[in-house]
Amino acid sequence: MNPLERVTPRRAAPSDAESVADLYLRARRAAAATGTIPPLRHDDDEVRNWIAQSVIASLECWLAESGAGTVVGMLVLDGDWIDQLYVDPDLTRAGVGAELVSVAKRERPAGLRLWTFTSNEGAQRFYLRHGFREVSRTDGSDNEERAPDIQYVWSPTVGLR
């Protein structure tokens, strides 16, 4: 995909489970390899089952699709939480994540919350650029990876006085 090419957001369907899992695994592995986030705590089969049986079947999963029909980003909403947001590692900083955050804001106009690892400084800058603000930090004892994290919130009224 040309980095300047626009992506099209759409809801995921059960038939997308394999491509969503492939993207998730590729993005997580690339980020873990650079130390940006902790490594996965589940094997590929567990991840693929989770994507098919939970993420797509029970949550609100949105995809960013290239003009060629390739899944290049995924967004998972669970209530007012951005539960997952991953972009093809070859397309970071190409606007895919921004497009998916726009979808999240459109779908949850009252506000959003999310967690990101403290080690993921790129994600921290990304969310701040998109109007989120930090509200808390933890030592990671409550997350699966046991890695320190930061909670961010976005509200349409943040910054207005």
Take residue 157 and report the two structure tokens written for it.
């009224």
- Residue 6's pLDDT is what? 83
* pLDDT exceeds 50 at position 147: yes
Contact 159, 111 (CB under 8 A): no
Mean pLDDT within 8-25: 97
Which helix (H) or strand (E) segment is 38 a member of?
Answer: none
Lowest-pLDDT choice from 37-41, 85-89, 96-100 = 37-41
Strand ranges (DSSP E) for the chain?
Answer: 8-11, 60-65, 71-78, 81-87, 112-117, 133-138, 149-154
* pLDDT above 90 for 93: no
* Mean per-residue pLDDT, 41-55: 96
Greater pLDDT, 108 or 158: 108
* Predicted confidence (pLDDT) at residue 161 exceeds the cutoff of 50: no
Q: Which residues pair with 137 in a beta bridge?
A: 150
